């Protein structure tokens, strides 16, 4: 296996590079149908070296001769890549596949990825790419329009159909009617984040029931603060380094009929009017911010929303706060830190409450996926590459392998229940084990496993009983927000809106922080709306609505 290591360094931004991408020609077969949306492309024998003759759903992929694909590898500091990983050894032995890797540190991943693509040095496979990130590369021709090749991706097509993901996938089509990203597919919504509470302090306040609404949760925080006067605040929060209350606003927002925090985008689609609105100036966004600002002004939420994670966690561990944002993985880390501090504390994650908009979850089951370089279509192994991608990332066998590894080596399976050996751990499974499934074997690795496993059964196979119960409770209670329709911007519109979008979002985030902390009174809301409009808010939304009308025909 050959490896190119790319050191971390300051590089041009992805937005800048998107404007200078070099054009790449298509290949590998006949010209696509010129009608909107393109058409199926037939891959000829010249580009089918190593490909299986009969590859369909349920087929185990094995190249008919050794093939070596180039791979842009996201190197995570928690599990730095190792040449002798089991996943590499088994893919070579069982699939006849090796990689020439270009290793890029996580801290520099997005910028280096853009730099390599822009310079014409893209690898065949470019994983860990979230929906929307591919758009900047489309006009330059560097990325393969994967929707032209669905004939060679039977497992992908099968799951899209079975799990009802066609509408979401169609929303990712570009102005030419094609999509350029193979996203991670999830059978069930991705629910991980909520509020983690010190249940001992909540029970001291007489609280034993889940809050039905966010207003009821505020009442619970007030009761906890009153019953535990030693608390500085009922709740402190983390994940504020890049956006104010990034996690908290993200999981609250759908219940208010809006987007917030990490999930914020400037374009909210209003189902009633059938048009896009500027998210950060809607009444729903104001209602959500008013709620959170009320927690702060009432002394329930710590106003230090620029603190780093360690500071927030320390306050929670020290008993200065009774609640903090968390997720299904971080609750284990909180317990470990409490144990290290010699504290025996009961923690639980609350089932996400409802809000004025009902009980909603952010509306997408598409997650981090992969792009394929358009130059891959010129490679002799192109068809084999597509078959391999389809098997590893989308077949039941492939995703089980990527998650758990090899039965008898990294896990056992008794009656459908998979179990790690005592000396191998992953997340909350055997957390104190000396070896880790990802760090020591290469499995459960976002480079090779999209959407953390895709199927409900596989997703829940790595959950503790506590996490399964919480996940089921949330999914039973919640509905998904409708999928936004596609507003396929053309190249000129993309260029015009990119700068507007960034400066407007930055202004919304700054104002959000001010309103939440009380540094800016909510009485200035109308002035804030005018400021956003002055930055191009109306222009941005008008452009999206014009594109939406055009897309609808």
What pTM value is reported for the model? 0.84
The two three-digit tokens of residue 552, written as one number: 């609808």
Do 145 and 208 belong to one domain? no
Residue range 313-330: average pLDDT?
A: 97
Residue 432 domain-assigned? no
- Give pLDDT, residue 487: 86
Do 31 and 178 belong to one domain? yes
Q: Strand, helix or coil at 346?
A: coil
Do 316 and 370 belong to one domain? no
Tokens 């709740």, residue located: 235
- Give the confidence band of 17 by pLDDT, cuts at 50, 70, 90: very low
Distance CA 495, CA 505 (A): 16
Assign residue 277 the CATH number of its domain: 3.40.190.10
Domain extent for 502: 491-551
| pLDDT of 14 above 90 | no
Do 374 and 323 belong to one domain? no
Do 199 and 330 belong to one domain? yes
- Give pLDDT, residue 30: 46
Chain Cα centroid distance, residue 416: 28
Do 279 and 378 belong to one domain? no
Residue 413 domain-assigned? no
pLDDT, tens digit, 9 for 90 and up, residues 159-208: 999 999 999 999 999 989 999 999 999 999 989 999 999 999 999 999 99
Q: Strand, helix or coil at 484?
A: coil
Residue 143 domain-assigned? yes
- Give pLDDT, residue 28: 58
- Give pLDDT, residue 495: 86
**Contact call for residues 97 and 448 (beta carbons, < 8 A):** no
- Give pLDDT, residue 363: 72
Do 247 and 267 belong to one domain? yes
| pLDDT of 524 above 80 | yes
Give buried/exposed letters for 282-297 (b at 16+ CB in 10 A, else e). Answer: bebbbebbebbbebbe
- Give the confidence band of 24 by pLDDT, cuts at 50, 70, 90: very low
Distance CA 343, CA 524 (A): 45
- Give pLDDT, residue 196: 99
| pLDDT of 64 above 50 | yes
Distance CA 501, CA 280 (A): 12
The residues, any chain, with a CB within 8 Å of residue 407's CB and separated by 6 or more, are 413
Task: Tell me the longest C-alpha to C-alpha distance in the chain.
Answer: 75
Kindly tell me the sign of the dihedral angle through the C-alpha atoms of 296, 300, 304, 309.
negative
Residue 482, Cβ density class (10 Å: 0-12 exposed, 13-18 middle, ≥19 buried): exposed
pLDDT, tens digit, 9 for 90 and up, residues 241-255: 778 999 999 999 999
- Give pLDDT, residue 552: 80
- Give pLDDT, residue 546: 95
Number of domains, the chain:
3
Q: Which of 415, 416, 417, 439 is nearest to 426 (CA)?
A: 439
- Give the confidence band of 275 by pLDDT, cuts at 50, 70, 90: very high
| pLDDT of 36 above 80 | no
Distance CA 445, CA 461 (A): 16
Residue 305 domain-assigned? yes
Residue 411 domain-assigned? no
Residue range 264-280: average pLDDT?
A: 97
Do 274 and 323 belong to one domain? yes
pLDDT, tens digit, 9 for 90 and up, residues 103-139: 999 999 999 999 999 999 999 999 999 998 998 899 8
Cα R_g (the chain), whole angstroms: 24
Residue 541 domain-assigned? yes
Residue 461 domain-assigned? no
- Give the confidence band of 545 by pLDDT, cuts at 50, 70, 90: very high
The two three-digit tokens of residue 500, written as one number: 């507007």
- Give the confidence band of 2 by pLDDT, cuts at 50, 70, 90: low
Kindly tell me the sign of the dihedral angle through the C-alpha atoms of 14, 18, 23, 29.
positive
Phi, psi values for residue 63, rounded to 5°:
-60, 140
- Give pLDDT, residue 108: 94
Tokens 């842009």, residue located: 72
Do 355 and 374 belong to one domain? no
Do 29 and 94 belong to one domain? yes
**Contact call for residues 1 and 83 (beta carbons, < 8 A):** yes
pLDDT, tens digit, 9 for 90 and up, residues 505-514: 999 999 999 9
| pLDDT of 13 above 90 | no
- Give pLDDT, residue 5: 57
Task: Give the CA distances from residue 337 to residues 330, 343, 487, in Å, rounded to whole numbers and listed in that order.
Answer: 11, 9, 46
Tell me the average pLDDT of the chain.
92
Do 205 and 183 belong to one domain? no
| pLDDT of 20 above 80 | no
pLDDT, tens digit, 9 for 90 and up, residues 364-373: 899 999 999 9
Residue range 499-525: average pLDDT?
A: 97
Residue 462 domain-assigned? no
Distance CA 218, CA 539 (A): 38
Do 9 and 76 belong to one domain? yes
């Amino acid at each position: 296996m050959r490896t190119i290591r790319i050191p971390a360094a300051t590089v041009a931004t992805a937005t800048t590079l998107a404007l200078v991408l070099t054009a790449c020609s298509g290949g590998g077969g006949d010209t696509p149908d010129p009608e909107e949306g393109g058409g199926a492309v037939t891959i000829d024998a010249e580009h089918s070296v190593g490909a299986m003759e009969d590859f369909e759903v349920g087929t185990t992929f094995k190249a008919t001769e050794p093939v070596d694909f180039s791979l842009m590898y996201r190197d995570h500091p928690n599990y730095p890549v190792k040449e002798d990983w089991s996943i590499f050894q088994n893919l070579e032995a069982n699939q006849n596949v090796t990689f020439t890797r270009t290793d890029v540190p996580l801290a520099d991943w997005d910028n280096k990825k853009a730099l390599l693509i822009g310079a014409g040095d893209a690898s065949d496979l470019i994983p860990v790419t979230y929906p929307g990130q591919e758009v900047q590369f489309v006009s330059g021709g560097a990325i393969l329009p994967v929707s032209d090749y669905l004939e060679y991706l039977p497992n992908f097509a099968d799951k899209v159909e079975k799990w009802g993901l066609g509408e979401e996938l169609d929303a990712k089509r570009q102005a030419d009617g094609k999509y350029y990203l193979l996203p991670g597919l999830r059978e069930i919504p991705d629910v991980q984040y909520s509020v983690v509470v010190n249940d001992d302090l909540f029970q001291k306040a007489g609280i034993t029931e889940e809050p039905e609404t966010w207003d009821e949760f505020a009442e619970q925080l007030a009761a906890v603060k009153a019953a535990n006067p030693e608390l500085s605040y009922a709740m402190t929060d983390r994940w504020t380094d890049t956006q104010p209350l990034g996690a908290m606003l993200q999981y609250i927002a759908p219940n208010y009929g809006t987007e917030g925090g990490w999930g914020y985008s400037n374009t909210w689609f209003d189902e009633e009017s059938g048009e896009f609105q500027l998210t950060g100036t809607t009444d729903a966004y104001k209602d959500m911010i008013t709620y959170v600002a009320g927690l702060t002004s009432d002394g329930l939420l710590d106003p230090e929303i620029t603190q780093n994670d360690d500071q927030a966690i320390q306050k929670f561990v020290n008993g200065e706060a009774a609640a903090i944002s968390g997720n299904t993985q971080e609750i284990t880390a909180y317990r470990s830190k409490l144990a290290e501090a010699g504290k025996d504390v009961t923690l639980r994650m609350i089932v996400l409450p409802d809000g004025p908009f009902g009980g909603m979850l952010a509306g997408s089951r598409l997650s981090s996926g992969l792009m394929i370089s358009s130059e891959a279509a010129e490679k002799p192994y192109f068809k084999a590459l597509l078959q391999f991608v389809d098997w590893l990332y989308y077949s039941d066998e492939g995703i089980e392998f990527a998650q758990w590894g090899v039965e008898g080596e990294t896990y056992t399976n008794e009656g459908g229940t998979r179990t790690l050996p005592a000396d191998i751990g992953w997340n909350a499974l055997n957390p104190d084990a000396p070896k880790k499934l990802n760090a020591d074997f290469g499995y459960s690795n976002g480079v090779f496993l999209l959407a953390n496993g895709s199927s409900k059964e596989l997703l829940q196979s790595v959950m503790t009983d506590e996490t399964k119960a919480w996940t089921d409770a949330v999914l039973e209670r919640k509905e998904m927000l409708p999928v936004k329709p596609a507003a396929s911007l053309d190249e000129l519109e993309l260029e015009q809106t990119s700068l507007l979008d960034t400066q407007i979002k930055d202004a919304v985030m700054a104002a959000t922080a001010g309103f939440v902390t009380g540094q800016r009174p909510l009485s200035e809301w109308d002035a804030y709306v005018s400021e956003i409009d002055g930055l191009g808010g109306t222009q941005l939304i008008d452009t999206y609505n014009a594109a939406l009308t055009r897309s609808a025909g």
